[in-house]
Structure formats: C-alpha cells, structure tokens
Structure 1
C-alpha cells in the first residue's frame, strides 16, 4: 500500500487519490462501478425517471463536504465548522429560486418522496384528509397510496383519469367538495398531458384546501417554459433534482407568492413551517455534498444547452408517440405533451413480459398500469417510456422511429406463456441486443463524450 506524506489540499487531488486508492485497495468494488458506466453506454434507457448526471455534478457529489455535520440552516447551525457549507447551501437555494422564479426554496430533502412527506407533516395532522391522484391512474405513491406514509397516516382520497387517460377534473372537484381535504396534491409519475394547475387551484380554493404540486417528472420542462409553472399557483411545489434536472438524487421544496403568507389554521408562514418540518421534525443533518451537486445541476439548468435538451425531450416524445401509433399501439391520452409516452400492450403480452424481454435486448423500459387496468402493478398491461436519456443521446426523428421499430419487432417476436413467462428465440434475442448496442455506439451519451 502506498504511503502518502503530503496533505491533499484541493478537490481535484482528493478525487484523483480516491480513484487510485479505490482500484489499489478495493478492485472488486471499482470493477463493479466501471461495469456500470459501461452498461449505461451500451444499453438504451427509456426510463422516464432517468437522465445521465454530468461529470462535474458527479465531482461535486464526491466533495469533502460529506465530512461535515450541518444540522440547521445557513447561519443557524447547531454546530461549528460550517462556513463553507453555509455558502454552498445558500448558493443552491439562490439558484433554485432563480431557476423556478420562487420566493422560497429548501434544498435539504434527500429525495422528492421525502420532500412530499416534509410538506405533509408541515401542514397536516395525523388523520387529516388529502386528495391525490391514484397510483393506478399515474399518480405517485406519496400522493396517498395505501402502502405509503401518506396513505397510512392520513385519510387519502384518490382521483383518477377519464377512459381517454386525461385527468378527470370534474371528479377532482366533486371529491374535493365532498371530502373537504386539507391538501390537494397534483402532479404525476406516469401522465403524458399538460397538468392544469390553475384548474386545480380553483378547486382547492372552492374546497378550502391547500394545493401541493409535485413536478418531479416535468421540472425541466417547467424551468424552461415548456410546461405551465405551478410556483405562484400552488401554495407549495416539490420536485426531485434527478430526472429532468440531470442532478443528484435529492429533492427541492419551493413556494412562490404563498411563501410568506400564513398557513390556514396555523400561526406561522408556509416558509417557516416547511423549514421546521425538514429539520428537526423529519430529517437530521443534510447530505451537504449532494446539496453541492444540486447547486451544480441548477446552474446547468439555466444554460442554453439545457434548454436545447428540454426541447429534444419534447420533440422526441412526439416522435415516439406518433411512431407507436403508426405501429397500431394505443398511446394513452392520444399523445404526449411532456416527456412520457404510455402505451397499452396487446397480443397477451404484459408489462412484466415486455420489460423483461426488452431488457434482455439491451432496452430498458418500465412496465406500467393503464386506464381500466385489471392486472396488478407487478404485471400491468402497459409500458411507460420516457425520453430524457434519448434527448441526451441527441437522437433525431429518424432515430426515434428506428428505436420504436426495434421495440415493436422484439415484442412481435415474443411468445407469451403466462403473465410473466415467455419465449424469445436466443438467436433473435442476440441479434436484437447487438442492434441496440450498435445504435448506442452510434449515439453516445453527449454528457459523457
């Protein structure tokens, strides 16, 4: 083992030493990490919650800030040694506010799910009623699923979509007036149309509810003006910093005009209630190295290249939807107005079969439930496809059609045996896998070139 005598005084030296020591002292782990980088280059990811993190953001996440315990907020820590931590967190807060034109931002939540729980615990008492989109209609489990914190500790009422896969706003209003929820949650994890935040706010006001918008899947489109923003419409907005923001795993809590107004029924403002819910109520010391990575990602999100990438996310989603329709697949909602294309499978092929067969051909997708679903969530009748990673490979319309054609040829070659078991000829599977890898080689992830 090498003996080092000179102190490491900068981030670059630390990272270089760390990589060298990792290979020298734990080659098993280092090899797995390198294999994952290779895998990401060689497979075509169509996962709607996935984008590649830029190398400079990765470097920020590996910073020495990880060594600092920093409970509290900038300027109000419970321990010392936080002068640089304060600068980093203040920078991330400023960048989040500027990017989303918000008056308040909290950057400490470890994930968007945590951010949602932070907001709920700030504004609800156990047993209070919330109204959120049902999971089987495309909502997130933190919006009131019976298996989640939100559905266990609160009385969760769930709204859905019409048979066409569009949010049923009349049903939302009817449920809101009947149950008078304390909070209405809007936003989705598998929904392809524009969300009418203004309509949700009108319903919330009529029912006397607080409106919480979760934009985790559309944050980049919101930031670049390609989807209406809820910041000044909702009382509180949450998002993750991965997915479209191309940052680390983490969450943000944002608020616009409501930030410094009193929370109905409480003696405090939204901003103060939210700060106290993050710490000390729900979370200990933040992962400050990840806050640094968030700051790096938020800066990039204001760049011209990021704006172009969001444009590609939208245009490629349109291409995918049209291409699947040309292959006679039903696209739920009739098309896409964001980055998500949700298709209904056919021919006895379930989502579980399609997901597995495509992965064996180096294409990664998510099985997902569709309107009128009768199968459980581990089986499903549909696929959720996202275009974030496709946009990062800068694939043109012809390339999008080639991908859809390859997916359809793979699915047409599958012979289902049960809802989970199937046959796919090994020779065909290998042929499809090589085609996918060749396509990936021709279209590398731009951030990694």
Structure 2
C-alpha cells in the first residue's frame, strides 16, 4: 500500500514537494525552539524517532498529516474567542469566526449532520457539552417555561435549588466498562458519574456481544433520561437504529459517543443502521483516533438540540482553542477526500486480517473477532495479566494498551486483556501481509513471556520474564516492516 497520509493530498500537489516543504518547516521550527529550550527540541526529535521505530497498535492513536500538525503552531493560539461565530465576548475575532465556521461546515458535510460544534477541547469536553445540553433542553427549558421565566437568572433561590436538584438526579444508561464502554459514560471516578444516577448495560456472557433485548429491558426498568451508546473497547458494530427505538420507547435522548470509530463513519465504512448520525439526537467524537486529526472534540446534533449545544462556552468550556479548531478544519477537509474512504476501508479490513492472524496462532479474542478497527486479546490464555503483556510487548517494540475484558477478574488496573487497533499502521501503509506478520510477532512475544512468582509464592501481577533474545528478534523483524512503510517519508529533521 502507499503512504495514506500523503495520499490525502489534492491531485494538484506533488507529494515529494509537500514532504520537502514539511521538512523545511519543521527544521526551521525546531531551530527556533532550540534557541530558547533545546531540551524540548531534543525530546521532539526523539518522539518522532520513537514513533518511526515502533509498531503503534494503540487503537486510539494515529498519525496526523504535516498540514494538520503545522496548523496548530500558529498565532491563533494567542487569541481569546469565548462565544460563538459572530457573537464573541472579545473584539477582533473575525478570523477565528472564519476558522470555526469552516470546521463546522466540514463536519456537517462530512457526517451529514444538521449542526456541528467544533469548540470542545477533548472527547470528555464534548461529552460534557452533550450531557449539559441535554439537561438544559430536557430539564431546564420545560421548567423555565412552566415558571414563566426566560432564563435561570430570573429564578428565585428556592426555584433554582429545585431546578438544580433535578439536574443532579437524572438517570443515564450506558455500556459497562468491562464490556467496552468508556469512563465518561457515567462511571463514578469520572465527573459524568457524579452528575447522574447511572446504570450500565453489558454484553451476553457467552457471545460477549450486545444483546439489544437486554438493553431494552434495562431501559424499561430504569427509564433513563439519556441512553448512551458507543464504546472504547468493543470490537463490533452497533445497530443505532435499534438503540434509537429503545430510547424512543422510554422517552430518552439517544447520545452516541463515536470517538473511536468516527473515521469509519466519515469513510463510509459504517452506513445505514451502523451510522449513528441519522439516528442519534446528539453525537460526540474526538478528532484524532481513526479520524486522523488533531487532539480535540466535536459535537454533532439535530437542530432541536443546537441552541443548547451552542452554549457549550461558557456552560462547561473555557475559551476555544482557535489553533486547534483550524487544524480540525484541515483534518476534516482531508477526511472528505475519496482517498480517506479508501483508508477507512483498509482500517477495517486490516483489523479483520489481524484478528484472524491472532486466532490461527492460538490467541483468544473477545467476541471471537472484530468488524471495526480494534481487537481485544484475552491474554489470560497465555497465563499473563494485561499489564504483563503490555509491558512485554513494549519491551519488544510493540506499543499497545492493557484493557479490561468482560467480567475481568484482574480489575481495571492489571486487567486480563490487551487492546490493539489498526488505524495508525494503516496510515503508514500496512496491508494484509504486514498485519499477518504483526499477528505472528504479537503471539510469539506472548508465548515467550511468563509471569514471575512474587516472594509470597503468588504470581506477581506486574512482574514477568521474556525469553532470551526475543525482544531483539521482534524489533529486528518489526524494523523490516517499518522501513518498508516509512512514517512521514521525506521528512527529515
């Protein structure tokens, strides 16, 4: 495969010239940085070298294009711009208005959304905007209308206390953490878990797949105000039309967090019932991960919820990061190209190849496979905890992250699983043959790693031992794949 980062260039742009210009830009930037704090320049060069030399398989990471990365390093960083397009609390925001409007336009067109909000700084910020927008729309507005008020500032202290109590006691139903849900979907360590009375739905104990009848039963019993769909470690697609039916039946707002799979939606891999945008009231996402943009968030919504979402600043957000919104606009423009659809399809196909390669070599997979961009390995099959497996793979030049599996006996810290994904290496040009080799390398490392017994006589959850020479041999084999699929080819620092 060709380098997919470069393939998103307009046909009028020469890729070699683009790489040369990027090299000059980064060389100049690092030279300027060195005059003030040379250690930062050293760390920046080291980070690129490390990423070039490792198999990046973290499902939530990717490689943004030089154009996206360079867009973040501008004087838009210096501008305060609280408010919305054309309605700012600071003067001199006409250029920020242009940037934010373009980011929202690209998002609407890319995803087919009625409304897009480009200000969230991250995925959790996008979720907080969505949560509070739903509460404002579903709780605040009817209460104000009933009291004959226009806004909360008109309420008496007693009325405000009543309304505030209603805000803090609404119900949310989301996927459990061990089934593949996310911390921001209502779990107690996160602010979302302190906002809501929360319950979780899981997966079928045998198949580990979502059981929509069980979700519907939980919704009928719990009657949530918000039904949350989406995942961070569920290796299957979701029927969002069915989730909307469940939400409508109990009068809930359907909120979908597509942060992980937004690139597959943008790339038209997920369509019909698997595309959340036509079915959800509100959709949140990050702009990195499979979307391959800058670190940041987006909120998409129906017109009904748009006025509430538009109040994200000052509701829960501070000043928007204008330089990041500019980079979002560039990344979303890249995602609207035909080559991005080719890339997204390759991400899904490569994940299936990786899953099959792991299975035929003896690995145990949660849900026995994948049909999105990620694979979840249950490493207890190798006698390891997730933390031991993650560390052993890292020692061998393979970057992953440990992750809980359904009903995980080792909890959320040590875990029994390792989550891997294909977006980043697909961006480097890896195809079926390379991912089959990657599967071989992963299984060899897991088979060659053993837990170390602690002084108490019990297996140490964090300690492990790797067979002599295995890390070096794995890195050497990886280097052949990486050298054949260079990261940012032509970019020299």
Q: Following superposition of structure 1 onto structure 2, how do residues 238-317 of structure 1 map, counting pairs within 5 Å?
A: 238-255=284-301, 259-261=302-304, 270-276=305-311, 278-317=312-351
Equivalent residue, structure 2, for 1:319:
353
Equivalent residue, structure 2, for 1:176:
219
Deviates more, 1:419-428 or 1:352-361: 419-428
1:135 is matched with which residue: 153, 171, 177? 177
Unaligned runs of 5+ in 2: 1-21, 136-166, 453-459
- Distance in 2, Cα, partners of 1:396 & 1:100: 26
Equivalent residue, structure 2, for 1:267:
none
- Distance in 2, Cα, partners of 1:26 & 1:202: 56
Contact map agreement 1:15 1:62 (CA 8 A) in 2? no
Q: Following superposition of structure 1 onto structure 2, how do residues 123-272 of structure 1 map, counting pairs within 5 Å?
A: 123-124=134-135, 125-163=167-205, 164-227=207-270, 228-255=274-301, 259-261=302-304, 270-272=305-307
What whole-Å deviation, never above 9, does each CA across 1:80-111 have from its counterpart, x for those lacking one?
11111111111111000000011100000001
Equivalent residue, structure 2, for 1:3:
none
2:482 is matched with which residue: 426, 430, 440? 440
Secondary structure in 1 aligned to 2:382?
Answer: coil
CA RMSD of aligned residues (A): 1.8
Question: What is the CA-CA distance between 1:426 and the residue it aligns to?
Answer: 4.8
- Relative to the length of structure 2, the TM-score reads 0.84
Equivalent residue, structure 1, for 2:150:
none
Question: What is the CA-CA distance between 1:48 and the residue it aligns to?
Answer: 0.4
Question: What is the CA-CA distance between 1:434 and the residue it aligns to?
Answer: 2.6
Q: Following superposition of structure 1 onto structure 2, how do residues 366-381 of structure 1 map, counting pairs within 5 Å?
A: 366-381=401-416
Deviates more, 1:346-355 or 1:424-433: 424-433
- Distance in 2, Cα, partners of 1:441 & 1:347: 30
What whole-Å deviation, never above 9, does each CA across 1:363-394 have from its counterpart, x for those lacking one?
00111111231111111111111000121121
- Relative to the length of structure 1, the TM-score reads 0.92
Question: What is the CA-CA distance between 1:448 and the residue it aligns to?
Answer: 6.9
Equivalent residue, structure 2, for 1:343:
377
- Distance in 1, Cα, partners of 2:470 & 2:236: 36
Query: Compared with structure 1, are the counterparts of its residues 411 and 420 closer, same or farther at alpha carbon in structure 2 (3 Å cutoff)?
Result: same
Contact map agreement 1:132 1:158 (CA 8 A) in 2? yes
Secondary structure in 2 aligned to 1:136?
Answer: coil
Q: Following superposition of structure 1 onto structure 2, how do residues 108-119 of structure 1 map, counting pairs within 5 Å?
A: 108-119=119-130
Question: What is the CA-CA distance between 1:407 and the residue it aligns to?
Answer: 1.0
- Distance in 2, Cα, partners of 1:224 & 1:13: 31
Secondary structure in 1 aligned to 2:187?
Answer: coil
Query: Compared with structure 1, are the counterparts of its residues 347 and 17 closer, same or farther at alpha carbon in structure 2 (3 Å cutoff)?
Result: closer
Query: Compared with structure 1, are the counterparts of its residues 446 and 27 closer, same or farther at alpha carbon in structure 2 (3 Å cutoff)?
Result: closer
Equivalent residue, structure 2, for 1:4:
none
2:111 is matched with which residue: 81, 85, 100? 100
- Distance in 1, Cα, partners of 2:487 & 2:234: 26
- Distance in 1, Cα, partners of 2:388 & 2:25: 45
Equivalent residue, structure 2, for 1:7:
none
Contact map agreement 2:173 2:199 (CA 8 A) in 1? yes
